[in-house]
Amino acid sequence: MRNKTCQSVLILSLFALFCSAQNLSPHWEELTAPDFVKALDQAKGVCLLPFGIIEKHGPSGPMGTDLINVRYATFEATKQEYAIVFPEYYFGQIFEAKHQPGTIAYSTHLQLELLQETTAEMARNGCKKVVIVSGHGGNTNLIAFFAQTTLETPKDYVVYAITNAPGQAAQMPAAARPSKPGVDGHAGETEIASIMAARPDLVHPERAGTQSGADQKRLDLPANVYTGIWWYARFPNHYQGDASGATAARGAALQQIRAEAIASAIRAIKADQIGPRLQKEFFEESTHPVDTKQ
């Protein structure tokens, strides 16, 4: 009899443990401090920083399109693979849209310093694997450069980045493919369709034709020459493609693909023991490089 009671108590406590683990919010700001400690354990120290921007998204999309889309896909991913998600973050590179209303373009040093301090604060709170989830094409170089700068000084955490590499249309399931060639791009069909899945109340695909998303081809330079004004030269309306054919069904398919890609990246990062070990070894060796075997 006593054994049976013990067994039921054990089952009940295991059940309670399972339930409490299941109920933890992935939203950093929604957790209590005691629950944050449990959440870190459940996330295996993996915390996500979805990185958006505030900029014009053509005539159809809200200015927070990239922020809304990346956070939507990230939270869908955490339903498959739990991790803690940092609050809304949009302090990135967007100088090329400064001529458009509503753009928030912080200075270069602040972008880097804020990213450095934010990831360091996440790590100080136990996020030993900080994962930037890229939501804005204009942040691609910033994120890559920032990741390189993490090797400047020793740290006890690793910064990873999940890029949003657009899939090849031909390899996508039919539901996720563009309605016709040339419609995708900044504020084009992909992005507006994705918002229709996340926040259908915020988009206006019927306004897509009120501005041109066509390439103006105003610069005449060879392909191996880069200049900062390239984007403005091609897409002065800060709009590329055509969002008029965007549908919620395509958006749902795209968001699902993106969420699955993020979830599998979280799984791989949780399992990664080599990155942290090599980084530790590297920082140790970098204090006395003349001893490194030649």
The stretch near Zn ion (CB under 5 A) out of 8-16, 65-73, 115-123, 141-149 is: 65-73
Q: Are strands 46-51 and 84-85 parallel, antiparallel or unpaired?
A: parallel
Cβ closer to Zn ion: 43 or 243? 243
Whether 96 and 239 have beta carbons less than 8 Å apart is answered as no
Shortest distance in whole angstroms from residue 138 CB to Zn ion? 8
User: At CA 82, angle to CA 79 and CA 85, rounded to 5?
Assistant: 95
Does 189 sit near Zn ion (CB under 5 A)?
no
The stretch near Zn ion (CB under 5 A) out of 41-49, 81-89, 113-121, 190-198 is: 190-198
The stretch near Zn ion (CB under 5 A) out of 72-80, 176-184, 186-194, 252-260 is: 186-194
What are the structure tokens assigned to 184, written together?
């995708």
Nearest-angstrom CA–CA distance, 93 and 112: 10
| Residue sitting closest to Zn ion (CB) | 66
* Torsion sign (Cα): 50, 54, 59, 61: positive
Map residue 159 onto helix, strand or coil: strand
Does 66 sit near Zn ion (CB under 5 A)?
yes
Does 96 sit near Zn ion (CB under 5 A)?
no
Shortest distance in whole angstroms from residue 190 CB to Zn ion? 9
Cβ closer to Zn ion: 66 or 242? 66
Side-chain-side CA neighbours of residue 288 (13 Å): 3
Whether 92 and 111 have beta carbons less than 8 Å apart is answered as yes
Shortest distance in whole angstroms from residue 91 CB to Zn ion? 16
Applying CB under 5 A, which residues contact Zn ion? 65-66, 191
